[in-house]
Amino acid sequence: MESQIKIIKKDMRHYGQTYFITDTGEVRKERFLSLQGMLFVLKKSEIKAEDKLIVIGAYEEIIKTLKGENQRAMLDNYLEEAENLFLYSIALTQNLIRTQYEETLNWARSHTYCLGNLLTYFLYYKLYNEINENIDFLLFWDEHFSKLIKNFNIENTLFIKQLARKYVCGQANFSEQSTVINKENIIDLFDAFFSEPLNFKFIYRASFIFKQFSGFFNKPNYNCSLQITCTAINRRCKMTEETVNEGRIYSFWNSILEGNKLRHDNFITFGKTTLADIVLPKEDNTLDLLNFAIYFDGEKWLMIDCSRKTNTKINMIPSQPYLIKPGTLISIAGLTNLWIKNIQIELDSEVYHEDESPVHSTLFFEYIDGHYSDPFGDKMQIASTKEKGGNKIKNEFVFGKGGDGKKVDFFCHLDGYAGGEHMKLNYHSNNNEWTATDLKSKNRTYIQLKNYDQFMERRISKIIPLFIGKYDIPGTDEKSNTIQENSELPQNGITISIGNYAFYIVKLDN
């Protein structure tokens, strides 16, 4: 069934970019695009298999019509039939009988068109008639809304609860005290969920990501203040009042965005819908719908890379060593990713008899994309501390394009974007640790939040601390003796890059 939906989605995307470019019927185009967007709702909803197949059949008739297998004049009829059958399949999950469905559908059609809008009015009319005036929010949530969204396979999380409270109560009050909802506002809640299909997809994914943080919650301490400044943007994209812009500052006091009534759930999202806390341009196709999220667990801030294609990176502070482990991905100038494939420490070598003898190590790495990734032959490259020979140890390996008297161990030009000495890897024989350091390069060096497997499989990253303490290792729960001895990482500030956007995040004193 999912394969059928995937094929329909592909066909609808094709005709949306071809047939409807020249078709002058704007309402017809809106209805078609809304049906296309609602395929994700169809896929995720708890609709019986036989009912889903009926809806899929209605979609297939639309495709046949566009292919010329049915009369083109019947297209509007097939669009309406697909809308009606979709809504009826939802009605069955809500235990509506046929007469109730028809009454509700007629009311919805008298107010709007397009499947997303129709579903909004459809559910609003049903719920509005079920609940009493002056109903308490908790009763509304427990007995009505939480049960309804379960049919759409949305995780029942605090994120969803606070989102619902925001719309029906007009405030983001975290307390569990009694709050009377405004019945008229229920339509705003459904509008946020369904009128724009991308919103539903964002909510579905954001709720899943929020649940990943649930195991980290320690205690309810809301003295958590954060300031996020956009320091770089993709200037080719259209900017609006809602979206990020260079220099724009977001202040979160106790997890609530200053100047707006947002949720109070310690959860901050970066994404391409207006439901995201930090809204990225919808037109930027290099980004994901939900890219990055931050969470306060009651003691510390945490972060996760939610993207499938964009990938979130930590901007390395120049001259600051970062400990690396097998699986670490280092991005040079944002153009190629260097994968630390393996590290061997020769602790058991028979050569070492005296305490002062150096312990050698070999680091194996590959370029997995960009200019230097080679799909043929052996891609493995080696940095070995034995290169000097004898009892000497080589502990520094420089990457860059060289020139101007600069000597590099691994040539890396990147069409001129790499610096003469761009970055280096260091081996610390006293602690048997390897670190990476950006050498004040113009186009920067980054550490990916994802490890190699997560990057290649397009999975979310593991949850890691947002602010790196002076002894912490990015991406791990370990402490580094090397970093402890050689530097102090800032404990309250970090720069994160998401595609062509960068954000400086700083923890404020309470």
**pLDDT for res 382:** 92
pLDDT of residue 380: 85
Within 8 A by CB and 6+ apart from 131, the residues are 140, 144, 183
Residue 10 has pLDDT above 80, yes or no: yes
pLDDT of residue 423: 95
Summarised one tens digit per residue, pLDDT across range 396-430 is 999 999 888 788 999 988 888 888 999 999 999 88
More confident residue, 176 or 303: 303
The predicted structure's pLDDT at residue 485: 41
Q: Average the pLDDT over 146-152 and give the result.
A: 91
The whole-number pLDDT of residue 174 equals: 52
Q: Taking residues 211-228, what's their average pLDDT?
A: 73
Distance of CA 317 to the CA centre of its chain: 24
Res 256: pLDDT: 58
| Least confident interval from 65-79, 165-179, 299-313 | 165-179
Is the per-residue pLDDT at 75 higher than 50? yes
Query: Residue 362, CB half-sphere, CA atoms under 13 Å: how many?
Result: 8
Q: Name the pLDDT band for 486 (thresholds 50, 70, 90).
A: very low
- What is the number of other CB atoms lying within 10 angstroms of the CB of residue 164? 22
Q: Quick one: 254 exposed, middle or buried, by C-beta within 10 A (0-12, 13-18, 19+)?
A: middle
Residue whose pair of structure tokens reads 């970062």 in the numeric block: 322
Answer whether residue 458 shows pLDDT above 80: yes
pLDDT confidence band for 462 (50 / 70 / 90)? very high
List alpha helices for 141-296, DSSP H: 146-150, 158-169, 186-190, 197-213
pLDDT tier at 254, thresholds 50, 70, 90: low
Q: Which position has the higher pLDDT, 288 or 172?
A: 288
DSSP states of 11-71 as a string? HHHHHHHTHHHH---HHHHHHHHHHHHTHHHHHHS---HHHHHHHHHHHHHHHHHHHTSS-
pLDDT of residue 59: 96
As a whole number, the mean pLDDT across the chain is 85
Question: What pLDDT score was predicted for residue 296?
Answer: 87
Rounded Cα distance between 352 and 330, Å, is 32
Is the pLDDT at 313 greater than 80? The verdict is yes
> Hey, what are 472's tokens?
């912490």
pLDDT at residue 20, rounded to an integer: 80
Number of Cβ within a 10 Å radius of residue 216: 14
pTM of the shown model: 0.87
**Which run of H or E residues covers position 6?**
helix 2-17
pLDDT at 451: 92
pLDDT at 264: 74
Look at residue 257 in the predicted model and tell me its pLDDT. 58
Tally Cβ neighbours within 10 Å of residue 257. 18
Give me the sheet containing 267-271, strands edge to edge. Answer: 278-279, 267-271, 290-296, 301-305, 464-465
Q: Where are the domains of the chain?
A: 2-130, 312-507
Percentage above 70 pLDDT, the chain? 85
Does position 220 have pLDDT exceeding 60, yes or no?
A: no
CA distances to 219, 268, 489 from 224, in Å: 12, 12, 21
pLDDT value at 7 more than 70:
yes
Residue with tokens 């202040």: 251
Rounded Cα–Cα distance for residues 432 and 413 (Å) = 30
Distance CA 400, CA 395 (A): 17
Question: Looking at the predicted structure, is the pLDDT value of residue 449 above 90?
Answer: yes
| Model confidence pLDDT, tens digit, residues 95-145 | 888 999 999 999 999 999 999 999 999 999 999 988 888 899 999 999 999
- 368 Cβ contact partners less than 8 Å away, ≥ 6 residues apart: 329, 337, 338, 339, 452, 455, 456
The H or E element containing residue 358 is none
Round to whole Å and give the CA distance between 189 and 385. 61
Q: In this model, does residue 234 exceed pLDDT 70?
A: yes
Q: Residue 279 has what pLDDT?
A: 92
| Cα–chain center distance at 25 | 35
- Tens digits of residue pLDDT in 156-209: 888 998 888 888 887 555 555 668 888 888 999 999 999 888 999 999 999 999
